[in-house]
Structure 1
Amino acid sequence: MADPLGSPMWAAHARTLFGDDPVRFDPRVKVVFPMIAENQRAFPVVIDARAIAGVVRMLLLVDLNPIPVAIDYRPVHAAPYVATRIKLDQRTPVRGAVQLASGAWLVSGGWVDAAGGGCSAPPVSRVKGDWAQHLGEMRGEAWPMAGGLARLRLHVRHPMDTGLVDNIATYHLEALRVKDAGGRMLGEMDIWAAVAEDPAITLMVEGGAGDAFTVEARDTNGRDYRALLPMARQSPMPGGR
């Protein structure tokens, strides 16, 4: 389909990511972000497809970034919702694409004004020199919501090197999984270096009061990280954002 955003890269990305699968633009895929990037190194984006039934996969796509895909998320026992922060290299469309069980893709998004350079600037922890001391540290918590879901917020310390800075090779988290106390997979994702340094990720997974969640991650050097996130002691949230 013709791109409503008029991106020069849409056709190439669509061929690569979607192949011959049906694709249509659908405003029910809510892609929420600021109109202007005040910090191109850490730009917040939310993809919310809870109004759509049967979502099995979610992509966060940044058309004009040198690393166009930031996250590929599969909500197994979770709501089709993901929030994170990404890098922006220039003014660009930012999109959410969700795949249905039928194989069809629904896409939405918009343009973001950005000064640029987010992908080619060295991480703050590299400049400070303390990245190795904190590598892989995880912190987070979950909060009960109505409808048998929990809002899970996770932070992971990692430089998320893009390989576009002189003398710094590509080095980033590449996979993340969330499981319940019984080991059941709730959601899993592939991650690329377009995600901001020290990734902050929010998901809505199945869970209730008293539950705990295991988070497992791996980076491109083969290092594995693991943490147990507790459920906060509070009454259920009525909704979720």
Structure 2
Amino acid sequence: MRPPPSFTRRHLIRLATAGAALAQALALVGPVHAADAFEGDPFQSHPWPDMRREYLGAGPVVWDERVQVSGPAFAEDPMNVPVSVAVDGLDGIERIVILVDRNPIRKVLEYQPLAALPRVSFRFKLEQASPVRAAVRTRDGRWHVGGAWVDSSGGGCTVSGATRKDGSWSRTLGSVSARMFERSEAPGSAADSVALDAGSRIRVRVMHPMDTGLVAGVPAFYLSRLTLRDGQDRELLRLQPFEPVSENPVFSFDFPTRPTGPLRLVGVDNNGNRIDSRIE
């Protein structure tokens, strides 16, 4: 096919020269990669982009090794999966949010340390193998995220707890027990992912069935707010547990110094049952 009369040999030479220049430029730039569908997530989890927008909003997110999440490689009991979160070397912490990608209820817990250290340990229900994440918000509006992969046979969120099955939950509902340790002497200290310095650890147990609402005939019934107060009625920490926290939950909190007592644990569940317990 001949070019039109106006399309001279000079035009053809110019087009060939331009094409060669473009090819050379593309070779220097290298291949064009598609946008990262996982938004930098080291676990490359498909739910993560939606979780990020739903729970963390539009603020900047960075993957930060200072946010340490420790859990078992395989959860033998998916209804009681231990997890510890420790944040070291990060200032201006406002809150810590625990998320599990592949749980039917992904938000597990929200923690505001206030006078406590940014460390918390507890147990939760795991429906299937999943990344377990801690997102830490600092005063500059940035989220610092760390995580760990926990494998599991699954089913933790869709099975009734022991006290729900035998009916004993109603006799113990809201009962609180607690102990205080020097952190270096606290149970489990040797297995902690970070070295423990001076200070105190408080371990609190609250009796509650913590129903997820995912078992037929059993509505969601869970602790929704807890605060720990010192002898002067000052808030030391705030905690928002959600449905995936394990039955009769045990929480461990670390403090730089021993809080002045007596302490009080005050809270409420989603049905309005109040908790107000003195801790000597």
Matched, 1:13 2:51: yes
* Equivalent position to 1:41, from 75, 79, 90: 79
Shift of 1:60: 0.9
- Structure exhibiting the larger radius of gyration computed from Cα positions: 2
CA distance in 1, matches of 2:127, 2:253: 25
Larger RCO (CA within 8 A; separation ≥ 6): 1
CA distance in 2, matches of 1:211, 1:142: 11
1:16-95 equivalences under 5 Å are: 16-95=54-133
* Equivalent position to 1:203, from 242, 253, 259: 253
**What's 1:159 paired with?**
209
**What's 1:189 paired with?**
239
Flag as ranges the 4+ runs of structure 1 deviating above 2 A: 143-150, 205-212
Matched, 1:105 2:143: yes
**What's 1:233 paired with?**
none
Matched, 1:114 2:152: yes
- Higher helix share goes to which structure? 2
Shift of 1:208: 2.3
- Higher strand share goes to which structure? 1
Q: CA contact under 8 A between 1:77 and 1:205: conserved in structure 2? A: yes
Matched, 1:176 2:176: no
CA distance in 2, matches of 1:56, 1:49: 12
Alpha-carbon distance change, 188 to 148 in structure 1, aligned in 2, over 3 angstroms: farther
**What's 1:213 paired with?**
263
* Corresponding letter in the other structure for 1:66: P
Q: CA RMSD in A?
A: 1.6
1:7-30 C-alpha deviation (Å, 9 max, x unpaired): 111001000111111101011101
**Secondary structure, aligned partner of 1:79:** coil
Matched, 1:143 2:176: no
CA distance in 2, matches of 1:220, 1:154: 19
TM-score of the aligned structures, taking structure 1 as reference length: 0.91
**What's 1:129 paired with?**
167
1:142-196 C-alpha deviation (Å, 9 max, x unpaired): 2245977421100011000000001001100000001111011110011101100
Alpha-carbon distance change, 154 to 171 in structure 1, aligned in 2, over 3 angstroms: same
CA distance in 2, matches of 1:110, 1:81: 16
Q: CA contact under 8 A between 1:71 and 1:192: conserved in structure 2? A: yes
* Corresponding letter in the other structure for 1:176: L
CA distance in 2, matches of 1:142, 1:56: 24
**Secondary structure, aligned partner of 1:119:** helix
Task: Please list every run of 5 or more consecutive structure 2 residues that lacks an aligned counterpart in the other structure.
Answer: 1-38, 185-196
1:9-52 C-alpha deviation (Å, 9 max, x unpaired): 10010001111111010111010111000100000000100332
* Corresponding letter in the other structure for 2:237: G
